[in-house]
Amino acid sequence: MKNTFLAADFGGGSGRVLAGYIEDGSLRLEEIHRFGNRQIRIGKHLYWDFPALFEDMKAGIRKAAQRPDLCIRSVGIDTWGVDFGFVDAAGCLLGLPVCYRDERTAGLCAEYVANNDVAAHYAKAGVQMMDINSIYQLIAMKREGSPILDVAKHLLFMPDLFSFYLTGNANCEYSIASTSELLDAKQRDWNYELIESLGLRKDMFPPVVMPGTIRGNILPEVADELGLSHDVKVVAVGSHDTQSASFVTPDGCAFLSSGTWSLLGVTLDEPILSEEARQSGCSNEGGVGGKINFLQNITGLWILQRLMAQWKERGENVAYDVILPAAEAAEIGSVIDVDDTDFANPRDMEQAIVQYCKEKGMREPQNIGETVRVVLQSLAARYAKGIKHFDALLPQPISKINIIGGGSQNKLLNRLTSEATGLPVIAGPVEATGIGNILVQAIALGEINRKEDVKY
């Protein structure tokens, strides 16, 4: 039997359970189970269907446990950042987690900036200030008078919430906690002074644990339900999916995690908390090994994904082997600001792009090929802008970029990125998040000593 590590990887649109094992010095990956993820609007808010996601994760683990050739040793969980749920003293879930795209935080970041010493705030938190961040979600809950804040025993970020219901232990993994804007970037722990200044209970925030920490064994009743041995562990990995993905990037190389969001950054030993870093929109997010991933959050393939969904609804062929050649052949120089709020969640993404170009005096795309070309070259231009910001803040300029994740398969975007930045681009691995997740588990359980011990 193969010593096997399971990665439960949750994205905004789908999730999957991957099995990883080391064979002949190489890490082998198998997709065991894939499932959908969706946001659900109920009343005033947009929620994640956590119970369904938890059940889907269990279904994937159960499938792996039924494989006679796999010896399951541990599970690691990674998700998107900033979102969270609550449990009470009895361990009961207090409502569904609200999605970061919910309108409740609109304008709260700007309001906070207007009423606080932003330079001093960034010098502690070190995180790009955005409406979606956990801090503003909690401010919105305070203003709504949410009773959850009074009765909650623990606030748990999405991967921590999954882990809690597997192990019964409440803790918050470092990398996911660092997306909240509530962590002290230097101390790698909660900024309790800030938490209390917001009128929040500091006892609601569980201990911060580092990637590689064993969170505990899977609860006996859950193990029995899934057909697992009682000694299967849950390991805290780089629980923010970006941090699992960036762990596979070679040393000395910038990473560009390309998916719904684009995360462009470099791995450092200590945070950069200067005013210049703040004004450049840079975040100091926690990484594996207590490292700092100094990065920018950039709207990524979300725009293209929304366009493709629209086109599919009206009966267009939106296969990549159709739309990318059309974009390659298109001749249009228009460039949009992909981070503009016009593209955050419009009802009609195609019309939003046309209207933006019209207002800025640029040529408006007339067909699918031209629209895709505008989106991809706009992303490349934004990446180039980010590289310039980093070069001004780092001791040495960036010399190459490793594009990882699903977006690394987009050869046109890779080429446009190389042309826009003037840097060589290394593409892949596509499964960077799953690989990083499993490598941390393998190290934690002593299967390997370091990531360089295996090929992937």
DSSP 3-state of 41 = strand
Distance (Å, whole) CA 376 – CA 305? 12
Whether the CB-CB separation of 235 and 214 falls below 8 Å is answered with yes
Cis amide leading into 429 (omega within 30): yes
Amino acid at 80: W
DSSP 3-state of 455 = strand
Q: What is the DSSP letter of 189?
A: E
Burial class (CB in 10 A: 0-12, 13-18, 19+), 43: exposed
Work out the angle between the directed axes of helices 349-359 and 368-393 (0-180°, nearest 10): 70
Whether the CB-CB separation of 8 and 60 falls below 8 Å is answered with yes
Distance (Å, whole) CA 81 – CA 87? 19
Check if 131 is active-site: no
Distance (Å, whole) CA 441 – CA 75? 8
Angle at 182 between CA 180 and CA 185, to 5 degrees: 100
Burial class (CB in 10 A: 0-12, 13-18, 19+), 205: buried
Q: Write down the catalytic residue from 241, 269, 340, 348.
A: 241
Distance (Å, whole) CA 16 – CA 10? 7
Whether the CB-CB separation of 267 and 253 falls below 8 Å is answered with no
Beta strands 172-173 and 208-209, pairing class: parallel
**Residue with structure tokens 């690691």?**
76
- C-alpha separations of 279 from 108, 176, 294, 295, 394 in Å: 18, 23, 14, 13, 15
Distance (Å, whole) CA 244 – CA 80? 11
* Assigned token pair, 88: 């009470």
Distance (Å, whole) CA 8 – CA 434? 8
Report CA torsion sign: 123, 129, 135, 141: positive
Burial class (CB in 10 A: 0-12, 13-18, 19+), 28: middle
Total count of residues recorded for the chain: 456
Residues classed as catalytic: 241
